[in-house]
Chain A
Amino acid sequence: MKIWVVRILSIIGTLVAVFGFEFFMRGLVAQDQSLDYIYRLAVLAGLFVTLAVSLNLINGITGQFSIGHASFYMVGAYAGATLTNSLYKIQPLGPETWLFVVALGGAVAAGIAGLIVGLHSLRLKGDYLAIVTLGFGEIIRIIVFNQPFLGGSFGLNIADKNDKSLWAVLLLAILCIAVCRNLCQTPHGLAFLAVREDEVASSAMGVNVTRVKVTAFIVGSAFAGAAGALLGVYDGLITPDTFRMDVSFLILTMVVLGGTGSITGSVIAALLLFSIPEWPRFMVEGGKPWQVTGATLLAGAICLIVSVYLVKRTIDEYHGPQRTKTLRIVGIVGGGIIGTVLLGTVFGLIPVLANRTWDVGALRMVFLAVTLIVLMLIRPQGIFGHEEFGWQKAMKALRFGKPGANPT
């Protein structure tokens, strides 16, 4: 009884939050049309969270090394687009309800693709499976590229697009997170984890390894497909180029960076990796983007290398109390920032370094790459490792909750 009350309240809370955010964003766009790209960023962020969490189900939780996630995204997008173009005009549903139909259509199509790839995972492991998934992704993309009825390289237009679909994207992301998290809390999820840990032992314990792997592929790719379908309907145009191999790698990087197997890690890493290249867009003053001089960049690079080295050494070799350790790391980071400013001033005296300037925006991909390298050096197991971060831990960290208290 109590479970249902909590469940219904949390669903209502989620809906209120999602639609509240939707109306807030619409209000923002209505005030200033140029803020439309923020709405778009929110949509893409939601889609990438879905993609990262769904790949995490395959890659992190079930341990099947799949690097062709963009292909499922693509299958979903084209399925959704074809569905909309052929049926939207002759069906009675409104544009909002139609989003559910499209997402479901994309999910089913991508789920079937996931089944096909998943069957290969029965015979292949690790690197070999990775090659198959990669190959599958490229095959799908090239097939679409050469099909005139799918628009070929020009892509496919969706006449009835719905560019107010942020709420649907957010609901999909939340559903994906909820499903993965729920799964992990039941013995079914333990069976998935057991397959990741040791296939021979889990089958000896009666786990049907075949079924677990195929289920993981189907569910993971179905979520990616639903995300793709929503992307198509939101943008109104999809091209094969949107789903290139580097999208697969970006999603994979999100999973690894967040910590394989950690759902919260995937979410945080997806938001982080997606947003880092966007931050410089906001670093604008009076219509002119921020400039950095060669002196600042050089100083920053030097201080970064030194601080990363020191932080890494503190983490690995300092065995004192946690408090002192944290303080030391904070000190190193602070020292790095101060060092950058000081060293930057000194380098500023050298004319060659002081006179060469760049737009911050032009360096955004460099920032992304540097962030990745630094994070992987400092925390190779990913931001969260195998851990989850939920209300319980948040409460514990804030010292509010009773130890062992369960919010659900």
Chain B
Amino acid sequence: MTTPLLSLDEATIKFGGLTAVNKVSFDIERGDLFGLIGPNGAGKTTCFNLITGVYKPTSGKILFKGSEIGGTPPNRIAEKGICRTFQNIRLFPSLSVVENVMVGAFLRHKTNIFSAFLYLPGAIRETEQFRAQAMALLEVVDLADVALARAADLPYGKQRRLEIARAMATQPDLLLLDEPAAGMNPQEKEELHLVVRRIRDEFQKTVLLIEHDMRFVMGLCEKIVVLDHGEEIAAGPPEAIRNDPKVIEAYLGEAV
């Protein structure tokens, strides 16, 4: 059996007396469209923060391509090939749309800072190259027409798509989307659905997403893990999750 792309092995984090994520284990294979769901406060975003290095796990292992990444600083993790979006959008508000995406491409820079200070031809070429890549990505998420607008001036749905483009610019192997459809109307959700599918099928990325909207997750993801109060309560394909009594209980309360 090949090593999974990302594998959580009893990952646990405690904040004081609170165990936010308790012994969560799952494997994500290359090419998966993986969903992480659960009611509010279940520990989904904390799970993301563990994977992306914002928090260091109290115990347990997080393996990416077979090597331990728990506690590595976020920028090193981005370099290794995991990139994320944020639940509450965190763009660079006063930079332009294309510049936002270019920041994502920055970690692949080859020129050093002195050639940037002196604006040597290498730095100029790299700038042009990153700009072209950023424009290509903006095509994918359908934002090319607003490339020069300030990111803060975009409407909500477009800001969400811009975050995805920015994360894609790091050319990650694993893309983590934190509630990408939050606050979107049905039509925007439909567009997002297509974008995420395209990222997986066309760009061959592995996607792990957190989502509240059941219909969106069920229609998109092929494997799902359900968290509740930091514990993993179910895992499997959407059909199995839908009929799992524990999941129904977590979402709708105890059966009478």
Contacts and interface: CB of A to CB of B under 8 A. Distances in A.
Contacts of A187: 102-103, 105-106, 109, 116, 126-127, 130
Contacts of A191: 103, 106
Interface in B148-168: 166-167
Contacts of A185: 119, 127
A179 to B, nearest CB: 5
A204 B124 contact: no
A85 to B, nearest CB: 31
Given A179-B117, A202-B92, A209-B75, A190 B83 contact: no
- Looking at chain B's contact residues, the main secondary structure is helix
B52 interface: yes
A207 B73 contact: no
Which bracket fits the contact residues of B?
35 or more
B116 A204 contact: no
B31 interface: no
A316 interface: no
A269 B93 CA distance: 25
A182 B119 contact: yes
Which bracket fits the contact residues of A?
20 to 34
A66 interface: no
Interface in A192-219: 193-194, 197-198, 200-209, 215, 219
Determine which residue in A179, A183, A198, A205 has the highest number of CB atoms from chain B within 10 A of its CB, and name it.
A205
A201 B73 contact: no
Contact of B95 (A197, A200, A203): A197
Contact of B170 (A4, A188, A206): A206
Determine which residue in B91, B111, B123 has the highest number of CB atoms from chain A within 10 A of its CB, and name it.
B123
A186 interface: yes
B74 A203 contact: yes
A190 B116 contact: no
A197 B93 contact: yes
A406 to B, nearest CB: 11
A189 interface: yes
Given A185-B127, A190-B95, A197-B92, A207 B116 contact: no
Interface of A: 3-4, 179, 182-183, 185-191, 193-194, 197-198, 200-209, 215, 219, 386
Interface of B: 52, 54, 73-75, 78-79, 83-84, 86, 90-95, 99, 102-107, 109, 111, 113, 116-119, 121, 123-124, 126-127, 130, 166-167, 169-170
